[in-house]
Amino acid sequence: MSPRIVTIEPKVELSIIIPVFNEGESLRSLHQSLCGVLSGLPGRAEILFVDDGSTDQTVAVLRELFQEDERVRVVRLSRNFGQTAALSAGFHHARGRVVVTMDGDLQNAAEDIPILLRKLEEGFDVVSGWRSARQDPWLTRQLPSRFANLLISGLTRIPLHDFGCTLKAYRREVVEHLHLYGEMHRMIPVLAYWTGARLAEVEVSHRPRQHGRSKYSMTRILAVLLDLISVIFFTGYSTRPIHLFGLLGLLSLVIGGLSFAAMVLMKLYSGTDMTGNPFLILFALFTIIGIQLIMLGLLGEISVRSYYEIQDKPTYLVREVLER
């Protein structure tokens, strides 16, 4: 009997995930910087570009880099799904034991990657970059970002300064089962923290944009706020929605009961007509709202049992994968 040949896939220590959308002018400079950094790091590494439906020369440049460098892998999405979906695709295709994410517009410095890795080696599961000296317009970028960071940190009680910085390092087990939607990429530290991950933050450099234009718009602030509400619900009440909606419903019923008591007392002691009493309207309103909230909580309890049973459904469609 001839011996059976078993092919063992080379182990990858580090995966660098870079979501890109119309960043063709920046890719060669970014790749050159990464090559310089990776030459000083031990272990096998890969550079995973996720093209989020680019319409410029990005795809052509990525194909060239793929041919020139065996560490480069490319995942092309079928259209522009957004940064969250692109990162999710990157997490799904990454092979490394450690995953580093960064932007493709050269504003993140590849030279900061070793700083994140050293901090990760201290026993942390997630190391987040903090752009303490941002090179962005103050009114349209820095001010909304600071407001969002303070809000997220205050509501989640996670003391990070910069949730929106893409430059982060993760242990593979933290991100391989994440399900990201909307603008949830900013909330990854929150999601990781609620699963027991140990978080750290280090200051990183931030550079002015050299090519192209920012994909950020003020409307994304509203999306971040709505996603924050979703994160708070799913991390705290996803398996017990009745605790949230039921509590609000009971509170509403208590207010309705107090309104009814006030209405009765006004009738007994001052002869106020109940028909024209505003407390009658409050009683009816809060009673109806309370019942509806409790019923919503019960429906949520039924739905959540189905939610955890369904198959995983990605938020992206892959058009092409270039890998060896």
pLDDT digits (tens, 9 = 90+) for 289-303: 999 988 887 787 667
- Choose between 184 and 37: higher pLDDT: 37
Mean pLDDT of 263-269: 84
118-146 b/e (C-beta count within 10 Å ≥ 16 → b):
ebbeeebbbbbbbbeebebeeeebeebbe
- Do residues 266 and 209 share a domain? no
In a domain, 131, yes or no: yes
In a domain, 3, yes or no: no
Sign of the alpha-carbon dihedral angle for 189, 194, 198, 201: positive
The count of structural domains within the chain is 2
State pLDDT tens for residues 85-112. Answer: 999 999 999 999 999 999 998 889 999 9
In a domain, 4, yes or no: no
Residue type, 97: R
In a domain, 6, yes or no: no
- Do residues 27 and 140 share a domain? yes
**Segment of 107-121, 124-138, 177-191, 241-255 carrying the highest mean pLDDT:** 107-121
Alpha-carbon distance of 256 to 252, in angstroms, equals 6
- Do residues 196 and 279 share a domain? no
- Total-model pTM: 0.73
- Do residues 130 and 259 share a domain? no
- Do residues 263 and 194 share a domain? no
- Do residues 39 and 142 share a domain? yes
State pLDDT tens for residues 215-226. Answer: 555 556 666 676
The alpha carbon of residue 261 and the mean position of all alpha carbons in its chain are separated, in whole angstroms, by 47
- Choose between 151 and 98: higher pLDDT: 98
Comparing CA positions, the residue from 25, 65, 60, 29 lying closest to residue 48 is 65
- Which CATH number characterizes residue 190's domain? 3.90.550.10
Alpha-carbon distance of 184 to 231, in angstroms, equals 8
> What pLDDT shows up at residue 281?
87
Domain containing residue 249 = 241-307
- Do residues 37 and 172 share a domain? yes
- Do residues 219 and 280 share a domain? no
> What pLDDT shows up at residue 246?
78
Calculate the average pLDDT of the chain. Answer: 83
In a domain, 7, yes or no: no
- For the chain, what percent of residues have pLDDT higher than 70? 81
Q: How many residues does the chain have?
A: 324
* 82 neighbors 323 (Cβ within 8 angstroms): no
Q: Given a cut of 90, is residue 2 above it in pLDDT? A: no
